[in-house]
Amino acid sequence: MALKIDETCINCDMCEPECPNEAITFGAEIYEIAADKCTECVGHYDEPQCTLVCPIDCIEPDPELIEDEQTLQKKFNRIYQLS
């Protein structure tokens, strides 16, 4: 499932540079994660890097975008045009 950043985000700038898919951008008020680019770091790392560096733990799975590891791998393959 894609991750989301909740409203407690303090805009610390820690997560955005850690995202290998460039899925994290600054939104209207806080950082946001583009669900179509978020693979929870599948294809890059064993666990989501943004959650590891977030000092206030405001990044969590989005319950409205449930994806299993196989689906995340397919998304990674699509993003990087792998077969």
Domain residues of the chain, as ranges? 3-68
Tell me what the mean pLDDT of segment 7-21 comes to: 98
The token duo for 56 is 């206030």
Q: What is the pLDDT of residues 43-75, one digit of tens each?
A: 999 999 999 999 999 999 999 999 999 999 999
Q: Please state the φ and ψ torsions of residue 5, each to the nearest 5 degrees.
A: -105, 125
Asked if pLDDT for residue 83 goes beyond 80, the answer is: no
pTM for this structure? Answer: 0.92
Q: Decide yes or no: CATH 3.90.190.10 for domain 3-68.
A: no
pLDDT of residue 5: 98
pLDDT of residue 41: 98
